[in-house]
Amino acid sequence: MRHPDRHIFEHTHDSLSQWFAERGSPRFRAGQVLEWVYGKGVIDPDRMSNLSASDRAALAGGMTFASCSTIEHASASDGVQKLLVQWDDGASSGLPVLDPSRQTECVMIPSLPGESKIRKTACISSQIGCPVGCRFCASGIGGLDGNLSAGRIVEQVWMLGRLPGVERISNVVFMGMGEPLANFAAVTRAVRTIAAPWGLGIGARKITISTVGLPRAIERLADELELPVTLALSLHAPNDDLRRELIPWSEHTTIAELVEACAVWFDRTGREITLEYILLGGCNDSADQAKELAGVCKRLRCNVNLIRYNEVEGLPYHRPTDERVRRFQETLRERGVNTHIRASRGRDIAAACGQLRHERITT
């Protein structure tokens, strides 16, 4: 793998200033380079016209700008765009030999026509594969092949912002491949770059970190990440028995422990939790299960996003009927729970929630 300190997206303003100083160049070059990269979308040192020839040569010879190759770029009928990328191992140049163990997917989701707010949301991955192994999700089918560095997390947002018709990413969600809190240091460092004025400049309130639920990591996030991001908890079941069937990682964590950690999050940050609940037809979508979920919600300051299951070939789950989805929502709302049904986007290119995986797209 390439040394992370030589990857432009790993750098902060301070570290890049030091990089230039160590080479006898003015520290202010850092601000100029970061403006080229994040402000103008330029990653070719030869195009950075306000740098000296020697500084451009130093960057070209000593800094990695693009650390991945795009294997596939797919566009959905609803405007969603998906990238399958392969991360460079530094071993060779030119076209990469396809290696799923170094591939991730990320997605750009635009707002729908007629929506009151215009959004361009980057759904990004924090790991190659996923260790959680949710029974209904494609991302964990091949297990975990590794963590992504902070720079490679940031690079995904940068790449999605360069896609046709995007211009600027407005929101970021860590809802792609992987468990973000299992790659804690890299994710929190990436969030700081995404939010920084010298970086991507995306407001922290427009950044969502989604987790399957690691209580100690949730509390640590509340303590260590000073930015007001949104925390989303992937619950997917109203009780421990069903949750352990669906999410193997929940074997050693109870919903009560998650509720307690989320209460700590709210007390320390003042930010409500979003509960993500994928509705699996005939599995977790009954009115009685909605009532049980409402009991969990009453113990939290939270809102609930209901997500219809998006089919994954080879898995035994089914998309629920519209009637059962509406009834589930109504049951929650009747009990005072703020609940929304999230639209499934990008299903025709397998870019919807739960469909991302680290293998080549086939058409």
- pLDDT tens digits along 161-220: 999 999 899 999 999 999 999 999 999 999 999 999 999 999 999 999 999 989 999 999
d(CA 336, CA 300): 12
User: Would you state the structure tokens that stand for residue 89, as one six-digit string?
Assistant: 């191992």
Evaluate whether 123 touches 176 at the Cβ level (below 8 Å). Answer: yes
Q: What angle do helix axes 184-195 and 215-224 make, rounded to 10 degrees? A: 40
Average of per-residue pLDDT across 90-113: 82
Average of per-residue pLDDT across 123-152: 93
Terminus-to-terminus CA distance in the chain, angstroms? 31
Given the residues 106, 123, 137, 353, the one annotated as active site: 353
Average of per-residue pLDDT across 119-143: 92
Evaluate whether 136 touches 285 at the Cβ level (below 8 Å). Answer: no
Average of per-residue pLDDT across 259-265: 96
Helix (H, G, I), strand (E, B) or coil at 82: strand
Given the residues 10, 68, 105, 123, the one annotated as active site: 105
Q: Which residue has the tokens 């460079």?
A: 88
What are the residue boundaries of the structural domains of the chain, listed by start?
4-62, 68-349
Evaluate whether 159 touches 83 at the Cβ level (below 8 Å). Answer: yes
Helix (H, G, I), strand (E, B) or coil at 327: helix
Q: Is the pLDDT of residue 145 over 80?
A: yes
Known catalytic residue: 359?
no
User: Would you state the structure tokens that stand for residue 308, as one six-digit string?
Assistant: 């219809």
Tell which CATH classification among 3.30.365.10, 3.40.1440.10, 3.20.20.70, 3.40.720.10 matches the domain 68-349.
Answer: 3.20.20.70
For the chain, percent of residues with pLDDT exceeding 70: 94
Residue partners of 134: CB distance under 8 A and separation at least 6: 140, 212, 234, 236, 246, 247, 248, 354
Comparing 130-144, 215-229, 263-277, 324-338, which segment has the lowest mean pLDDT? 130-144
- Positive or negative torsion for Cα 248, 253, 255, 260: negative
Q: Is the pLDDT of residue 70 over 50?
A: yes
State the amino acid at position 341 in one-letter form: I
Residue partners of 318: CB distance under 8 A and separation at least 6: 280, 281, 282, 309, 311
Evaluate whether 138 touches 354 at the Cβ level (below 8 Å). Answer: yes
Average of per-residue pLDDT across 228-238: 97
Residue 77: the pLDDT is: 93
Helix (H, G, I), strand (E, B) or coil at 11: coil
For 351, phi then psi, to 5°, come to -115, 5
Fold that domain 4-62 belongs to in CATH: DNA polymerase; domain 1 (1.10.150)
Average of per-residue pLDDT across 249-260: 94
Q: Is the pLDDT of residue 363 over 50?
A: no
Residue 343: the pLDDT is: 86
Residue 160: the pLDDT is: 98
Q: Is the pLDDT of residue 36 over 80?
A: yes
Residue 138: the pLDDT is: 85
Residue 150: the pLDDT is: 98
Q: Is the pLDDT of residue 158 over 50?
A: yes
Known catalytic residue: 68?
no
Q: Is the pLDDT of residue 294 over 60?
A: yes
